[in-house]
Structure 1
Amino acid sequence: MKKLVLFLNKIVFFLNSFAATMLLLAYVLPYVEPKKFAFLSVLSLSVPFLIILNILFLIYWLLQVKKQLLLSLIILFVGFIFLSPLYKFSSSKNIEDENNIKVMNYNVRLFNVFKWIKEENVDQKIVDFINEKQPDILSIQEYRRDEDINLSGYEKFEVISGQKVKNGQAIFSKFPIINSGSIEFPNSFNNAIYVDIVKNKDTIRVYNVHLQSMKIDANADALKNETSENLYRRVSKTFTMQQLQAEQFLEHKSKCPYKMIICGDFNNTAYSYVYKEIKGDLQDAFVEAGNAFGRTYDIRFFPVRIDFLLVDDAFEVNSFKTFDVVLSDHYPIMAKVKLK
């Protein structure tokens, strides 16, 4: 029996070593350009899983009081700075202030036009939810223009494309919009749009960024039909395109003279190169004021955060919330920010 336990522990430690090595390698991914090392970039999608896996190995060795626990413990400690974008142990920050600006980001998945969710009136339920929360600024990805979609009390800027279904991005604002525009990404239906709004005497630039999607169906049956070669090729190409799109966006952003809010669906995690580059010195509202996993994309049993709200140092982040509303494959997120 003792030999069997020793043999089992050797196998577990081998798997533990592999998971720890992959996690350590993943820590450097935000500093590696996808177009140079596309294979490594794929690992960024697995960082939440690798962190959780190493925690489970740590618990396994801890229960046995084995020194092997040091492997995952050290790796997790080294990457502690990477853990906060995955899970916030503190409770959500929520400071009410009359000067708060409520900013919501929501990928609405075309308001369920193709009936992915087998439920009646999903489009109206999305509108009702937004009207209930009354964000001051609303950033929407996969938006479509429809006469039945009525969000009243807002100024709006939208960029719509496509033939079969007219869709794109939109920004709604309760503050006056004095300027607007679009950053068109080449060879892609994705783009970034922006508006300049005026609150009191301050001009604020609001970006809505939608980076290239991998177009991978998270459904288990659909994934079974994907060969590993096709999956790898698609993900590698997407990450390379995301980098080029992020570089184009950053060039535009660098010329902006105003205080800034960046919303969007980056189609990549907080452990990716594009997130690191776009975030730069900005504040991630989830990291500043959120709690728990901050999950924004609907993959069963797996916490994935690919939707972000970023603000510059001109703002204080007074709250952040992810709403558990299943009306899209994304969850809406909202932050309350205040100009200092």
Structure 2
Amino acid sequence: MKGLRFGSKIIFIINSLVAFLLLISYILPYIPPKSFASLSVLSLGVPLLILFNALFFLYWLLRVRKQFLLSLIVLLLGWNYINSMYKFSRTKAVEDEANFTVMSFNVRLFNRYEWLPSKEVKEDIIELILNEQPDILSLQEYRTGDPIDLEGYYNFNGRHTEGIKAGQTIFSKFPIVNSGSLEFPNTYNNAIFADIVKGKDTIRVYSFHLQSSGIQTDVEKLKDETSGHLFKQVRSTFRAQQDQVELFLAHKSKSNYKTIVTGDFNNTAYSYIYRMILGDDLKDSFEEAGNGFGRTYDFKFFPLRIDFILVDKDFTVNGFKLYEEKLSDHYPIKATLKLH
């Protein structure tokens, strides 16, 4: 730090801390939350750490100081993280007669508790679905006691199913030949699956709703939360999510079908949870064909991508669409796929 004035030295110390935290975050996908739950919390702040390091890089670069190298090197080391947060190149959708589409949307109980001022949220969601006509549709926070009817679709858990938790459903224009639920213990959350026949192929589709941290998105309400309480909530959530993902992986290992995993992970692409679900045989449809930030959750501080459509590597992702309609605290996503 020779040659730097006192104020610049303080800025570089802060820069070094932020760079160090981002560097640490690169190993978080390989650390089970049960082992280091407190450290796993850092994964939620990765977008901010990337942004701060980019600002520090520009700050030192404009001042023609070699200190710009610190953030530059750390950012380059985590280039895949940046690519996961923001897709710089727009991928043009590929038209193919073999294409089919998969949509996922956390509908937040169709605005049952009037979080949004509109009284017609449910009707607007149905209109969106009918306009887009996805071939496969997974919905989270869905009320089986207040079901929707979609003409031309088969469904699993579209209405109350004995022994299956409410909260999720899968609709499909293709026949559903088998289905079921992974009942997560001590929670209202679960995962469901449907085996869907498309032509000569059977595809297994999962819909996830992993444990939620329950953190407030409203700024004023969030101010009332202590940092200790927030950390405790997130630590507990990540541990529960690890248990839930382990149940999923055990279930998935017994299937030989090509797999599509959709839903609300309540975690980011920088987490251990995401890496375990992705595994070696799935790919992220947003990273394949999306663009921009890919924000799927209405969080006021920075763009959060916590809803995913992950697909077997035998699928080609020919398109990805993120909708901006404000019909929930989540935004719908749709992938256009082709099976080799």
TM range (shorter): over 0.9
Query: Bigger shift: 149-158 or 286-295?
Result: 149-158
Partners of 1:231 and 1:172 lie apart in 2 by 36
Find the residue that maps to 1:62 and give its secondary structure. Answer: helix
Q: Which residue of 2 aligns with 1:175?
A: 174
Partners of 1:333 and 1:146 lie apart in 2 by 24
Partner letter of residue 28 of structure 1? I
Partners of 1:93 and 1:24 lie apart in 2 by 33
Q: Which residue of 1 aligns with 2:300?
A: 300
Identity within the alignment, %: 58
Find the residue that maps to 1:15 and give its secondary structure. Answer: helix
Contact 2:170–2:194 (CA<8 Å) still a contact in 1?
A: yes
Mark the runs of 5 or more structure 1 residues left unpaired by the alignment. Answer: none
Find the residue that maps to 2:5 and give its secondary structure. Answer: helix
Could you tell me how far 1:93 is from its partner in structure 2?
3.3
Runs of 4+ in 1 over 4 A off after TM superposition: none
Contact 2:103–2:335 (CA<8 Å) still a contact in 1?
A: yes
After superposition, give the CA deviation of every residue in 1:58-104 in whole Å (9 maximum; x if it has no partner): 11111111111000000001111222110111113300111111000
Contact 2:37–2:238 (CA<8 Å) still a contact in 1?
A: yes
After superposition, give the CA deviation of every residue in 1:102-152 in whole Å (9 maximum; x if it has no partner): 000000000100000111201110111111100000011000135573322
Partners of 1:104 and 1:156 lie apart in 2 by 14
How does 1:125-204 map onto structure 2 within 5 Å? Answer: 125-145=124-144, 149-158=148-157, 167-204=166-203
User: In 2 relative to 1, CA 42–324 (structure 1 residues): closer, same or farther, beyond 3 Å?
Assistant: same
How does 1:210-289 map onto structure 2 within 5 Å? Answer: 210-281=209-280, 282-289=282-289
After superposition, give the CA deviation of every residue in 1:268-325 in whole Å (9 maximum; x if it has no partner): 0000001000001211000001111111000125110000001112210000111111
Partners of 1:148 and 1:179 lie apart in 2 by 21
TM-score, normalization: structure 1?
A: 0.95
Query: Bigger shift: 145-154 or 278-287?
Result: 145-154
Q: Which residue of 1 aligns with 2:93?
A: 94
User: In 2 relative to 1, CA 19–124 (structure 1 residues): closer, same or farther, beyond 3 Å?
Assistant: same
How does 1:327-338 map onto structure 2 within 5 Å? Answer: 327-338=327-338
Contact 2:102–2:135 (CA<8 Å) still a contact in 1?
A: yes
Count of residues paired in the alignment: 333
Contact 1:159–1:182 (CA<8 Å) still a contact in 2?
A: no
Q: What value does the CA root-mean-square deviation take over the aligned residues?
A: 1.5
Q: Which residue of 2 aligns with 1:60?
A: 59
User: In 2 relative to 1, CA 168–197 (structure 1 residues): closer, same or farther, beyond 3 Å?
Assistant: same
Could you tell me how far 1:230 is from its partner in structure 2?
1.1
Partner letter of residue 327 of structure 1? L
TM-score, normalization: structure 2?
A: 0.95
Mark the runs of 5 or more structure 2 residues left unpaired by the alignment. Answer: none
Partners of 1:174 and 1:75 lie apart in 2 by 46
Contact 2:262–2:310 (CA<8 Å) still a contact in 1?
A: yes
Partners of 1:300 and 1:98 lie apart in 2 by 40
Partners of 1:263 and 1:42 lie apart in 2 by 23
Could you tell me how far 1:6 is from its partner in structure 2?
2.1
User: In 2 relative to 1, CA 226–160 (structure 1 residues): closer, same or farther, beyond 3 Å?
Assistant: farther
Partners of 1:312 and 1:279 lie apart in 2 by 9
